[in-house]
Amino acid sequence: MNQRIAHLTLVVRDYDEAIDFYTQKLGFILLEDTKLSQPKRWVLVTPQGDGSCALLLAKADGATQESRIGNQTGGRVFLFLYTDDFERDYQAYRQAGIKFVRPPKEEVYGTVAVFEDLYGNLWDLLEPNVYRSSGK
C-alpha cells in the first residue's frame, strides 16, 4: 500500500492576500491557482523542497468557516515547517516581518520556534536533529 497526505486545507479570508503572504513572506511556491467558479479558486502553495504536501488555500464560505480563520486548531500549533537550516530561515522570516510568538529553543528533537501566519495560525519552524546528524 502506498498512501500519503497530498494537501491540507487552510481556511483564509482572501485568496490573493494569502498567496502573497505564503509566496512573498515565507518563500513558498504557488503550484496552482485555478478559477473553479465566481467565488471559488483551487489554490495550492508548498514550501520549497520535495513538494510532497501542499496547502490548499480555501476562502471561507459563511460565518462558521470565517470564525475558524486563524484558529483552526483551538490555539495549538497547526503546521510544522521542517527546515535544513534553522538559522537561515529564522533570520529571513524575521526580516520579512514574520511574528515569532515563542523564541528559538533547543529541544531533544531539534531546534524550534513558533510563528504566526497572517491570520494567527501557529506554526513550528523546526530543524530536526536528524538533519544535523545526517549532514543534510
**Tens digit of each residue's pLDDT (9 = 90 or more) over 60-90:** 999 999 999 999 999 999 999 999 999 999 9
What are the φ/ψ torsions at residue 7 (nearest 5 degrees)?
-140, 150
Which among 106, 107, 124 has a CA at the least distance from the CA of 115?
124
What are the φ/ψ torsions at residue 128 (nearest 5 degrees)?
-65, 150
Is pLDDT at 131 greater than 80 in this prediction? no
Q: Do domains 1-69 and 71-136 have the same CATH topology?
A: yes
Taking the domains of the chain in order of start, what are their residue ranges? 1-69, 71-136
The verdict on domain 1-69 having CATH code 3.40.50.2300 is no
Question: What pLDDT score does 33 carry?
Answer: 98
Question: What pLDDT score does 74 carry?
Answer: 92
How distant is the alpha carbon of residue 127 from its chain centre?
Answer: 15
User: Grid coordinates representing 46?
Assistant: 508548498
Q: pLDDT band for 130, please (50, 70, 90 cuts).
A: confident
The SS3 call for residue 89 is helix
Topology (CATH level 3) of domain 71-136: 2,3-Dihydroxybiphenyl 1,2-Dioxygenase; domain 1 (3.10.180)
Question: What pLDDT score does 12 carry?
Answer: 98
Q: How confident is the model over 1-20, as pLDDT tens digits?
A: 999 999 999 999 999 999 99
Is pLDDT at 135 greater than 80 in this prediction? no
The SS3 call for residue 92 is helix
Cβ atoms within 10 A of the Cβ of 93, count? 21
Q: pLDDT band for 111, please (50, 70, 90 cuts).
A: very high
